[in-house]
Amino acid sequence: MGKKKQKVVLPPELPPDVPDEDIEVTAEDVHFINENLDYASYLSNLDTKSITKHVSRVADVNEGALELLYEKRMRKKLDGKDKEQPGMEVDPVDALPVKTPLGKLYYRRVTKEPKEGEEESKEGDSITKGPSFVKLTKTEKRLNTKKSRKEAKKQAKEEEVLQIPQAEVLDEVKKDLTAEEARESKKYKLAVLGTSLLADPESNIKNIKEMLEISKDEDSAIVMLGLKSLVAVFKDIIPGYRIRLPTEKEQEMKVSKDVKKMRFFESTLLSAYKAYVQKLVALQQQTVYKRVAVRCLCTLLEALPHFNFRESLLAAVVKNISSQDDVVRKFCCATIKSLFTDNGKHGGEATVEAVKMIAELVKAYNCQLHPDSIEVFLSLSFDEDLGRPEKPVMNKRGQNNKSKKKKDADDQKQMLENERKKNRKEMLSKTREEVKADFKAASFAQDTHERRRMQSQTLSAVFETFFRILKHAVESTSEASSVPGTSGSHPLLAPCLNGIGKYSHLIDMDFMPDLMNSLGKLAGNGSKSSEKSYQLTVSERLRCCIVAFKVMKSNLDALNVDLHDFFVQFYNLILEYRPGRDQGDVLAEALKIMLCDDRQHDMQRAAAFIKRLASFSLCFGSAESMAALVTVKHLLLKNLKCRNLLENDAGGGSVAGAIAKYQPDAMDPNRSGALASVLWELNLLKKHYHPAVCSIANSISTMNTSNNQVYHSHVSPLQAYTDLSQLDKSFAPSSDVKKGNNKKRKGSDNMPVKVVSEADLIDQMDENVVRKKLGEHFFLLRDIQENEKLRSELDRTTLSLNLYDQYKKQKKRKTR
């Protein structure tokens, strides 16, 4: 049978479908297979693994699960086809195939044109080009799977990155909510502790330590609130006396419960107050808490100058009295002024300490402080008889001492007679002294001798500071004049001169010559040489002249000094004055003190000042001109012979023969020869744009003819300046200005005034246009100057940024 079967070409028929369980392998089947091994050789080459993958029917498997598995496989096949052939338009089933000579069939495929926005095909995919077809290998498939896994991981990471900020934001929100709740709870706790302390300080004094702990929080808002709350509490609960802690012996003594409670209260309060002051002194160095800390220090010093640790508060406040921060400086200056004006709280001791500290500060900084640090001295008040000796008091003291000695001798005799009486009297005297000391400490009235002692110490420290500032100014100006290129500034000179002028009646006579010499040098600074790198301003030099005259006036009986040099300096300073640069009130005060205050002037000097002030009135503003003309009026009223300047005779006045030539450039007013001139300036001042200047010029010009006119004679130059400067703010000159080009006709003196014609209106309109254009021109110039400043600042910033970039590059090179 085996041989016959080999001869048959057709394969055997398939066996009937029989279940695997019913099939039985017999010996004949085995023998048949062994004989026909050639036909069974293909079985050895079968890929059993791939076959098992594609098996769709498995024993004991649910049919529904098999259908789902089949659907998944079909979907994968379809997806794979779409991915492998993304550009195919014609399905290979519908298209006609092409058969190669080898018997293989290939289908024609038409690729799609790539559209905009479509992704490029990945490497390793199936590509169709014409009739050829490329099939993916296993390595390419592995690479594709790796790439897909990497992309999936990247997408997962991106999703995680997107989810992380949301979680962080939620955490921050939760933290903020918890911090806000904690902040509110701390605020509530501060309020509760503060109210309990104010209600019963002795029982709840322990709460103050909790408030101190809360003020050490990391939150700046809580710290500020705690500091302010503690200030309010300390102001209310601190007693009106200085606390003295008990000694060791006093602590060993048995005392009552009330005394123990009071001692505990005082010790706890003092320790908490000390810690609070130390905390404020430390916090003032930090920019965040500086203003709050300084304000708390100033409040404590102003409200509690009698209490403990006053020296620490004073040192901290005086240190910031010249701060660059305007708010801090104003707080400190106001506190020091309140100490100087209200001596009842501290008995004058804080004033002495503050003045000495300011003097040391000026010495340490070499007189380079803010002017406000010295202006506080102007709020000091001294007794008028501080410099006078108290002879009757000393005599009474001597009489009292003699009487006391006699009494002591009698007492000694009596004490020798009876020792008991002696002991009793000693006890009585001790108790009386203790009672007197307690009464003196409790009473608000200060002892006159103690007050005089404190005021003398304060005055000596104040004048020591003033004289140091003057000496520094004189030395710096002398060095600037001798050494070219040196410069300096004197910010404290103006308040120093004001202080010397205010307290000039309290200066010791031994210092007068040196003081006047220093003032003369400062007033003459800049008059001899103009090559100095630094000069005093005109206002400062005028103040030196004013102070010299105030010192002379207050010590007229004991001081005999020639003030001619100051007149010479003032005579030359009038020409150096500039309205926008210098202070007009200082000039007006100098005119009042040096020329108008009931002094007998030399005729030549008075005439020189009259002529110079008249010329000065033509050049400057209405307020300065008014002050100068008021001074001219005063001088003409006092010196009758100077009214010859009002005459317009040929050859000058009647006393012009003494000096043959008028010298307007003379440095000395006595050698100017002003009596040989005429006040022709009054004729121009009558046509001044300001009506007040016109009226006083008319009154001066008619003074020689009508002697009864005393208008403006009772007004001082300073008052005239201040009044007119206030009026100038709302004053606007009239625009109806008459033109001088209209020719006068004969006999037109008696003709009535003509009505304004159209030509005059056109001229006025043209004048308004010119004014407008000039205003625009000057505004443009100002804008150009501001632009130049901004450009210079921009250049500086760009240069600094470029330098910083270069520094970064060099640093990177070094690190490499």
- pLDDT tens, residue by residue, 101-154: 777 777 666 555 554 444 444 444 444 444 444 455 667 777 778 788 878 877
Cα–Cα distance measured from residue 583 to residue 592, given in angstroms and rounded to the nearest whole number: 15
pLDDT recorded at residue 414: 63
Q: Is residue 808 one of the residues assigned to a domain?
A: yes
Helix/strand/coil for 98 = strand
Cα–Cα distance measured from residue 184 to residue 186, given in angstroms and rounded to the nearest whole number: 5
Per-residue pLDDT reduced to its tens digit, 325-354: 999 999 999 999 999 988 877 778 899 999
**Token pair recorded at residue 291:** 């203003």
Q: Is residue 507 one of the residues assigned to a domain?
A: no
Per-residue pLDDT reduced to its tens digit, 569-580: 999 999 889 888
Q: Is residue 105 one of the residues assigned to a domain?
A: yes
Greatest mean pLDDT range, 43-47, 74-78, 233-237: 233-237
For the chain, what is the mean pLDDT? 76
pLDDT recorded at residue 124: 42
On whether both 796 and 649 belong to a single domain, the answer is: no
* Contact (CB, 8 A) for 617 and 625: yes
Number of Cβ atoms within 10 Å of the Cβ of 719: 14
- Range 544-549 average pLDDT: 89
Greater pLDDT, 482 or 74: 74
Q: Is residue 215 one of the residues assigned to a domain?
A: no
Helix/strand/coil for 665 = coil
On whether both 694 and 785 belong to a single domain, the answer is: no
**Token pair recorded at residue 128:** 């169709």
On whether both 788 and 702 belong to a single domain, the answer is: no
| Count of domains forming the chain | 5
Characterise 652 by phi-psi region: left (phi > 0), alpha (psi -120 to 50), beta (else). left
Per-residue pLDDT reduced to its tens digit, 289-329: 999 999 999 999 999 998 989 999 999 999 999 999 999 99
On whether both 572 and 718 belong to a single domain, the answer is: yes
Cα→Cα distances 544→292, 524, 569, Å: 40, 9, 10
Helix/strand/coil for 107 = strand
pLDDT recorded at residue 662: 55
On whether both 721 and 789 belong to a single domain, the answer is: no
Cα→Cα distances 139→125, 145, 575, Å: 12, 10, 104
Q: Is residue 227 one of the residues assigned to a domain?
A: no
Residue whose C-alpha is closest to residue 274's, from 239, 309, 247, 303: 309
Cα–Cα distance measured from residue 253 to residue 271, given in angstroms and rounded to the nearest whole number: 22
Residue 756 has pLDDT above 50, yes or no: no
Helix/strand/coil for 99 = strand
Maximum separation of any 2 CA atoms in the chain, in Å: 181
Among 100, 135, 170, the domain-final residue is 135
On whether both 25 and 103 belong to a single domain, the answer is: no
- Which of 8-22, 75-89, 770-784, 798-812 has the lowest average pLDDT? 75-89
Among 412, 441, 470, the domain-final residue is 441
pLDDT band at 277 (very low <50, low <70, confident <90, very high): very high
What dihedral do alpha carbons 791, 792, 793, 798 form, nearest 10°?
A: 90
pLDDT recorded at residue 761: 41
* Contact (CB, 8 A) for 526 and 535: yes
Greatest mean pLDDT range, 79-88, 349-358, 532-541: 349-358
pLDDT band at 712 (very low <50, low <70, confident <90, very high): low
User: What percentage of the chain carries pLDDT values higher than 90?
Assistant: 18
On whether both 706 and 624 belong to a single domain, the answer is: yes
Sign (positive or negative) of CA dihedral 156, 158, 164, 169: negative
- Strand pairing class (128-129; 132-133): antiparallel
pLDDT recorded at residue 451: 82
**Token pair recorded at residue 193:** 């502790």
The answer for residues whose C-beta is within 8 angstroms of residue 231's C-beta and 6 or more apart is: 296, 299, 300
**Token pair recorded at residue 345:** 């709280």
Residue 279 has pLDDT above 90, yes or no: yes
- Range 55-81 average pLDDT: 67
**Token pair recorded at residue 784:** 């150009």
Per-residue pLDDT reduced to its tens digit, 175-211: 766 778 888 888 899 999 999 999 988 888 889 999 9
On whether both 699 and 811 belong to a single domain, the answer is: no
Phi–psi pair at 695, nearest 5 degrees: -65, -45
Radius of gyration of the chain (CA): 54
Residue 389 has pLDDT above 50, yes or no: no
Instruction: Determine the structural domain holding residue 29 and report its residue range.
Output: 2-49
* Contact (CB, 8 A) for 300 and 231: yes
On whether both 670 and 579 belong to a single domain, the answer is: yes
* Contact (CB, 8 A) for 626 and 720: yes
Cα–Cα distance measured from residue 207 to residue 230, given in angstroms and rounded to the nearest whole number: 11
pLDDT recorded at residue 299: 93
Kindly tell me the burial class for residue 547, based on how many C-beta atoms sit within 10 Å of its own C-beta (0-12, 13-18, 19 or more): buried
Q: Is residue 339 one of the residues assigned to a domain?
A: no
**Token pair recorded at residue 753:** 């005034």
* Contact (CB, 8 A) for 595 and 631: yes
pLDDT recorded at residue 755: 39
Q: Is residue 597 one of the residues assigned to a domain?
A: yes
Cα→Cα distances 313→285, 334, 353, Å: 14, 14, 11
Among 441, 475, 508, the domain-final residue is 441
pLDDT recorded at residue 659: 43
Cα–Cα distance measured from residue 300 to residue 303, given in angstroms and rounded to the nearest whole number: 5
The 3 state secondary structure assigned to 197-248 is HHHCCCCCCCHHHHHHHHCCCCCHHHHHHHHHHHHHHHHHHCCCCCCCCCCH
Q: For residue 111, what are the β-bridge partners?
A: 88
Element housing 97 (H / E) = strand 97-99
On whether both 677 and 797 belong to a single domain, the answer is: no
b/e burial code for range 295-314 (CB count within 10 A of at least 16 → b): bbbbbbbbbbbbbbbbebbb
Q: Is residue 341 one of the residues assigned to a domain?
A: no
* Contact (CB, 8 A) for 533 and 485: yes
Per-residue pLDDT reduced to its tens digit, 622-664: 889 999 999 999 998 888 888 888 876 544 444 444 443 556 5
Residue 432 has pLDDT above 90, yes or no: no
On whether both 608 and 717 belong to a single domain, the answer is: yes
Per-residue pLDDT reduced to its tens digit, 510-537: 788 888 888 888 888 654 443 343 578 8
Per-residue pLDDT reduced to its tens digit, 562-617: 788 888 899 999 988 988 888 888 999 999 988 888 666 788 888 999 999 999 99
**Token pair recorded at residue 813:** 């090179």
Greater pLDDT, 273 or 510: 273
Residue 745 has pLDDT above 50, yes or no: no
Strand ranges, E, within 648-717: none
* Contact (CB, 8 A) for 573 and 535: no
- Range 244-261 average pLDDT: 86
Report helix, strand and coil shares of the chain as percent, to nearest 5.
Answer: 65, 0, 35
On whether both 721 and 792 belong to a single domain, the answer is: no
